[in-house]
Structures are given as structure tokens and as C-alpha cells.
Chains A and B, each alone.
Chain A
Amino acid sequence: MAKQVLSFTLNDSETDVLVQPYVTLLDALREDLELTGPKEGCGTGDCGACTVHLDGKPVASCLVLALQARGRSVRTIEGLGRFDALHPLQDAFVRLGVPQCGFCIPGVLMAAAALLAENPHPSEEEIRYGIAGNLCRCTGYTKMLAAITEAAGVAPARRA
């Protein structure tokens, strides 16, 4: 089957890439574009490890066909902050030592960034719902909650 051109905005850059029509956005990001921040945990939308922003909204990239992103904007964890200028959430996660094994963290950060973009001062309940689609098998939710709360207080409405 012939590959097709996927033209989209990836982490603020106009991007063209050849993809098979039957691959997911997650596989195109990881295999064809070498962005391995988004992870495949379950492949069925249950775990949230593959969370990216599609037109600013958090989605499970394992349930999106790559070509469904044509003409749209995708942001992955690689485009959330820069090494020399971390997103306030990344900064808080580092300082509070949130990651344990780290596998779920890119997805959690993307879900949390989308939450804060929409709701700069969420309640504890809203934070818990905001990351309810992300499973952490180390069960490090307590520190996640603390870090998101702190990031929301420090620097609320940066870009998602």
C-alpha cells in the first residue's frame, strides 16, 4: 500500500512526513518522526501514556490515525518546554521528584498542561479529574497532585 504525505504542524514546525494510511499518530510520531516521548502503554486509550495535544486538546494518540492529523496542530512532550526553559509543570515535576519509573510522565504532563491552559486555577478535585485518564503503575499520584498544584500557583496560563 502506498504511503501518503501527512502535512501538519508538529511542535510549532510545519512538517511533512510519509506515512502508511493504517498507522496511528502515536506510531508515526515514534517510528517515522523519532519523537519517543509519547509512549504506548495499552494501545486502547485506557492508560494515557500516549497523550499529545491535537489542536490544543489532549487526546490518546494511539486512537488517532496519523492522517487524521492532516492540516492540524500536534504538540508532544518534546514541544512542551525547552531544555533551557522548562514548562512550569516540568520544572515542578523535577523539583518535587515526581517521576518514579517515568513511563507515564510525558502523558501526565500533557494532560496537566491542557488542564491548566483551560482552567488556570483548578481545585484539587479538578486536578484529579484532569489526570484521571492517566495511569501510573508506580502509583505516584500524590506527588503529581502536589506538583500540578504548585505549577498552577506559580505560573498559571502558559501555552498548552
Chain B
Amino acid sequence: MRRFQLALPRNIDECVKFLAERGPETKVIAGGTDLLPQMKNGLLKPAAVVDLSGVADLRTLRRQDGSGLRVGASVTAREIERDAYVRSAYPALAESGALVGSVQIRNLATVGGNLCNAAPSADMAPPLLALEAEAVVAGPRGRRRVSLSDFFTGVRRTVLAPDELLVELIVPALGPRSGGQYLRHTPRRELDIAVVGVASQITMSDGVCAKARIALAAVAPTPIRATAAEQALEGRPLTAEQIGRAATLAVEAARPISDQRGSADFRRHLVAVLTRRTLTTALERAAR
């Protein structure tokens, strides 16, 4: 690994101050599970690295009465996977955390890192998109909120300026009769990267779908929402036929490439299958 200067801030202000001075030549390290492999193989050569492990404010995972969940950027995938409230109220998010890497990786890898690394296949992105999470971003001019659907701008690119830091995600509260699921396809069961990932999140009311949100990973340059599929479901009962129609529309939203993980055709097939399965499970969970 090329040598670098390491900054050890104790709070968000110190972190932002360092980024304001050295931002363009600096990388932020949280869990390090994406950053260090890229630095070891020479893909990234930052002159300075800012370590977030001493910033306690970034590690809070807390339920807000009536207004959802706040997930600090440094909360680990393992904490997301195991937190009792996340598992019961936001199972799609808990499921995505449980799929990241191995347990040795999940104890390090963070929600913020998964999003800021901005891989098209980031597992925690689809559930957070489907849950309409907002990102809180700190910078030299104060804080701003960005809808997660506007956060990703390209492969490994986000709206974050070099002097900005992702602080937390705000996940809105869900109404009664809501349900969701995240599923991905991988050739191996553990330590693999999604060929396709799909999160579905629905809210039912009087037997019809009041709200549907569907998000896809690894089928476009960024994680994306399948909005036409969502709109086709809203206001209708979720019959097998409606779910099948949404799956077809989700495939139309995908713009997959062919690579060593799978062909574009296989990925389109997976979008249909996983959209159908996640919507079916979301409906079952909404009935509980």
C-alpha cells in the first residue's frame, strides 16, 4: 500500500474541517473493506486518509418514535443484520445487511461505506431506496439532505463533494400493513456479489396496494428504482397477475450489462423472478 497521512478526527466537525483542507487528495475510511483492497491493488492512491472509527456520532442506530429510523453512516452491516427493531420493522434492510461479505467483513463494513463506494451491486442500497431513505450530508457550509434516489450519479460516483461527509440515513416510519423483502442472486451463498438484487416495499390499505417501491441493484450504472412497476401496482389489489405485470415493467427499467457474473439476458430474467418473489413476500409480511 502506498504511504499516506492518517487523520484521526474525534467528531464530525474535525472531519469536515480536514476534508475542506485536503478533500481532493483524501479518502475517508470507515470499515475499510472496500477502500483498503482498492488501495492495496493500486486503484486508489490517496495522499491522506480520514479515519471515522473515533467519531462516535456516526455510530448511532436509533429508532425515532413515530418518525422512523436514523442509521449513522458508521453503523456496521452486522449491526443492521442483528438489530431487533430493524429486523422486525425493516426486514428488507436487515436481510441486505446479512448478505454483505462474511461475518468478518460485516463486523467492519458500514452502511455509509456501502453507499459511498457506490457499486451498482451495493446490497444495502435497494432496501434503503425502496424505504425512501434520505441521506444527511455534512460539509463546510453546514448540512444538507439528499434523497437517496438522487445520491448515486454513476458507477462509484455520488453527489458528495470532496469536502463532504455522509453522516446518517433517515428512514421514514412505515404505515400499518407494510411489508418488504430484499433478495439477491449469487452463485455462492456467502461472500459473493449480487448478479442482481431486488428490494420491494409495499403498504396495503383496504385490500389494495396503497404504495409500492421497488429498487434494483446490479442492472444499471447505479442502484435504481423501477417506478413504472411501482405505479402499475398502486391502487390495485396485489393479485398474481398484477405482480407478474410489475415484474415485466421492472425488467423494462433495467439496463444490465453482460459481464463475468452474468449476461444481460440472465440479469433481465433475474429481475423478473426476484421482483415477483419479493413482492409476494412483501404482501405476506404486510398481512402480519
Residues of A within 8 A of B (CB): 1, 4, 20-22, 24, 43-46, 48, 51, 54, 57-60, 62-65, 67-68, 70, 111, 114-115, 129-130, 132-134
Contact = CB atoms under 8 A, between A and B. Distances in A.
Contacts of A48: 102, 104
Interface of B: 1-6, 8, 29, 31-33, 36-37, 40, 49, 51, 53-54, 78, 101-105, 107-108, 189-191
A130 B5 CA distance: 36
A68 B4 contact: no
Given A43-B40, A59-B108, A130 B6 contact: no
A22 B108 contact: no
A21 B29 CA distance: 13
Interface of B is mostly: loop
B10 to A, nearest CB: 11
Contacts of B107: 54, 57-59
A133 B100 CA distance: 11
Contacts of A60: 33, 104-105, 108
Contacts of B78: 57
Top 6 A-B pairs, shortest CB-CB distance: A133-B102, A21-B6, A132-B190, A44-B37, A60-B104, A57-B107
Contact of B5 (A1, A51, A57): A1
A1 B108 contact: no
A68 B32 contact: yes
B104 A21 contact: no
A111 B103 CA distance: 8
Residue from B6, B49, B107 having most chain A Cβ neighbours under 10 A = B107
